[in-house]
Amino acid sequence: MAVLEIIQPGNPVLRKKAIRVMSFDNKLQKLVDDMVETLLDAPGVGLAAPQVEVSQRLIVVRLPDDEESREEYGKEAGKLYVVANPEIVKSSKAMVEGTEACLSIPGFYGTVDRHESVTVKGLDREGKPIRIKAKGWLARVFQHEIDHLDGQLYIDIAKEIWRARPEDEEETIAE
């Protein structure tokens, strides 16, 4: 496994619509492993393949697994999601404002409205169908990462963007 370079907005791959994953071969398995290692090294809670300069519809998501996170997120804390060709098939009408950051845009935060809950369907790393019902922060992370697959960054939809201050670093983990 390897830690991959996370690209920034100057790289055109971040703005392209990613192509569907068609093959679940050893090359894809290595990419998944490398993306997970990169996510944990960053550290972040979500990573889309375009962020590591691979224009494929693939995301990895993992909420923190510390004691506080286990209390707040329960069984979702520390659970790893690998989703190829993810699609949001259902979303709540209720919207929630929240703070987001991005591994591809270090040093900045933004206020973004997202659906409070979503249902995501896709394929796991072996190509088997999966369906995930997510709410709260997990739903926000899935929406943020799926946006990456369509070439959209949170700064495109943020109501407000600001430069990180030292106290912000303790409050938010990058997505």
d(CA 149, CA 16): 8
Q: Per-residue pLDDT tens for 136-147? A: 999 999 999 999
Q: Please state whether the predicted TM-score (pTM) of the whole model is above 0.85.
A: yes
CATH fold of 12-171: Peptide Deformylase (3.90.45)
Considering the candidates 116, 145, 171, 175, report the single residue annotated as catalytic.
145
Q: Is 5 a catalytic residue?
A: no
Q: Per-residue pLDDT tens for 70-83? A: 888 888 889 999 99
CA 85, 46, 139, 73 torsion-angle sign? positive
What are the structural domain ranges in the chain? 12-171
